[in-house]
């Protein structure tokens, strides 16, 4: 019985190491692909320029595809009239009337402004997801899922608060 347990443990360790090596190979190929993809965006800045413009948390999310902790973002429970723009370049992304409370811990929208975002398949962390990026600068915004409100689009754009800024609708005097 002990031998079976030892063999099973060794098999799991070897299996996990094989997956890690595969992920490292993919990550090593990404910088060239990332540079080519970024060159296609209208707004292109050097790494130093992005670091100077963005806060450390914004830089991690927008440029390194990081994720803020759930329920900590400024716009998670925020519902006012206006538009949400990319925090890096000001590109209008979401209208406030498409925002809803999905109870996931991040701001959620059921649709993006047409042409404002681009999508990329994301297999990171052993998941298969669709990444959402700003079409203007390539900044990582979050991911889109198909578990949004069925009465609208059925989509849920799960967005990091630090990747967006809110611009309120000007009230008429």
Catalytic residues: 158
Closest CA to 86 of 62, 65, 104, 107: 62
For 3, the token pair is 């031998």
Rounded Cα distance between 136 and 114, Å, is 13
Cβ neighbors of 128 (< 8 A, separation 6 or more) are: 121, 122
CA 150, 151, 152, 153 dihedral sign is: positive
CB burial of 24-42 (b: ≥16 within 10 Å; e: otherwise) equals eeeeeeeeeeeeeeeeebe
């Amino acid at each position: 019985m002990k031998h079976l347990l030892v063999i099973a443990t060794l098999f799991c360790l070897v299996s996990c190491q094989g997956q890690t090596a595969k992920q490292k190979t993919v990550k090593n190929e990404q910088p060239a692909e990332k540079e080519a993809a970024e060159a296609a965006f209208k707004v292109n800045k050097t790494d130093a320029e992005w670091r100077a413009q963005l806060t450390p948390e914004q830089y991690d999310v927008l440029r390194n595809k990081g994720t803020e902790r759930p329920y900590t973002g400024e716009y998670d429970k925020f519902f006012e009239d206006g538009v949400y723009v990319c925090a890096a370049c000001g590109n209008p992304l979401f209208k406030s009337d498409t925002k809803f409370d999905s109870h996931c811990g991040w701001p959620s929208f059921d649709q993006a402004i047409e042409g404002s975002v681009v999508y990329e398949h994301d297999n990171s962390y052993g998941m298969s997801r669709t990444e959402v990026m700003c079409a203007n600068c390539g900044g990582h915004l979050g991911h889109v899922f198909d578990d949004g409100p069925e009465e609208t689009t059925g989509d849920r754009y799960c967005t990091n608060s630090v990747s967006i800024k809110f611009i309120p609708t000007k009230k008429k005097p």
